[in-house]
Amino acid sequence: MAPPKKKTRAKRKDMTYECGEEVTGATGPARKPVAGARQAQAQAQARKDLTADVEKTVDNYVDAMINLGIEGLRKQYKQQLANYRAPDEKYKFTAFEANPDKNRYLDVVCLDETRVRLTMDVPPSTDYIHANWVKFEGHDKVFIATQGPLDNTIEDFWRMVFQEGCPNVVNLTKCIEDGKVKSSQYWPLDPGAFQSFGKMFVNTKKVESEGKFLIYTVEVLPEGCSNSNIVKVIHMTSWPDRGLPMSGRHVLRLIRQVNGDKLDNGPVVMHCSAGIGRTGTIILIDVILRRLFRGKEIDMVDVFKQLRNQRASCIQVEGQYLFVVISVLDYIKVISRGYSSQTIHPLLTLQPHQEANLFSKQT
């Protein structure tokens, strides 16, 4: 058996994700980037040389994932992560139990320690919403992971968004999937449309299409308040109920859209149906990429546990865990031509969206 070919590190490209490049799976055809002033400007702003520390950190991560391989990652998830939950002293959910009518799923708990508490125009006895703060040390992006709003929690949802000064809401689910209600429709779909939810008023100002997702610019105004907040609702409709997007590139574009918004540095609200599967997957991809490209080493088991310590049951199935790693490696492959078919390619050829056995359940 011939020895494996040595990895060669070609000159690094800038770390801008090429949003104009479309890939269908790891081996599918690619289209050339579509030229445009906006894309060129975004790339120019992000263009910079990677430091030696960042290169080393990225190399270490790639090597670790290649050494594990697909079967090693599957084994890691099954043996160390699938059944992991926060330590007993943190795994408490009394508010969840006291508010069954505000929970979409009875088996998806909301941890007391990290739950978001409503403070605006509500007494302490009604401060509950099924939402948790998700924060990582050394990571400046703060998330609020939550469930898809119920009809009776839409007002609470918008109260939370306004209260916390959230510039972006990322919706990863359709209202109806496979004939089942996954989320209530909580904002007007048409430009100029206006809707009230209890004491919260929402006005859709603009709708834009960005490939696989729609961006709704909405104005949120509480009753009796003279100052409104502008919020972007970013709705990704291409993530199937039981499966994964055809390409991780769509998810990477979504992350770049959120991270590139300079409106505010407030927390990002992220939800799917239960707020743990698709939501946890996106959050973990973002956290890993941000840490890697700041020269910080990644321990997959540790970062996964940090996530579940804050939002119970995040990343529900093996396929989602594999998708996290594949998406991160795909990004690295795009910005670094040094990783060729001898290195990353064997992992990227796995297409978990086609493997139904990887999904026992997903919300």
Which sequence spans correspond to the domains of the chain? 77-358
| Active-site choice (19, 110, 166, 272) | 272
Q: Is 19 a catalytic residue?
A: no
Digit-coded pLDDT (tens) for 306-329: 999 999 999 999 999 999 999 999
- Pairing relationship of beta strands 168-171 and 229-236 according to DSSP bridges: parallel
CA 129-259-309 angle, 5° bins = 45
Give the chain's length.
363
Is 195 within 8 Å of 188 (Cβ atoms)?
A: yes
Provide the residue type at 84 as one letter: Y
The answer, yes or no, to whether residue 173 has pLDDT greater than 50, is yes
- Reduced to 3 DSSP states, what percent helix, strand and coil does the chain have, rounded to the nearest 5? 35, 20, 45
Most confident of 61-70, 147-156, 343-352: 147-156
Digit-coded pLDDT (tens) for 92-124: 999 999 999 999 999 999 999 999 999 988 777
Q: Exposed e or buried b for every residue in 214-244, given b needs 16+ CB within 10 A?
A: bbbbbebbbeeeeeebebbbbbbeebbbebb
Rounded to an integer, the average pLDDT of 225-242 is 90
Digit-coded pLDDT (tens) for 179-207: 999 999 999 999 999 999 999 999 999 99
Give the closest residue to 237 by CA, choosing from 172, 320, 282: 172
Residue found under tokens 């918004």: 261
Longest CA span, the chain: 76
- 3-class DSSP state of 28: coil
pTM of the model: 0.84
Joined together, the tokens standing for residue 138 give 């050394």
Q: What are the backbone dihedrals phi and psi of residue 100, each rounded to the nearest 5 degrees, phi first? A: -60, -30
Give the closest residue to 83 by CA, choosing from 285, 301, 313, 277: 313
Residue 46 per-residue DSSP state: H
Round to whole Å and give the CA distance between 336 and 7: 12
The answer, yes or no, to whether residue 344 has pLDDT greater than 90, is no
**pLDDT confidence band for 49 (50 / 70 / 90):** low
Please enumerate in sequence order all residues whose Cβ is within 8 A of that of 131, keeping only pairs 6 or more positions apart, or say none.
110, 115, 116, 144, 145, 146, 147, 160, 269, 275
Round to whole Å and give the CA distance between 348 and 238: 20
Percent of the chain with pLDDT over 90: 64
Mean pLDDT of the chain: 83
- CATH fold of the domain at 77-358: Protein-Tyrosine Phosphatase; Chain A (3.90.190)
Greater confidence (249 vs 337) lies with 249
Joined together, the tokens standing for residue 80 give 């160390």
**pLDDT confidence band for 285 (50 / 70 / 90):** very high
Q: What is the DSSP string of 288-336?
A: HHHHHTTT----HHHHHHHHHHHSTT-S-SHHHHHHHHHHHHHHHHHHB
Q: What are the backbone dihedrals phi and psi of residue 6, each rounded to the nearest 5 degrees, phi first? A: -75, 140
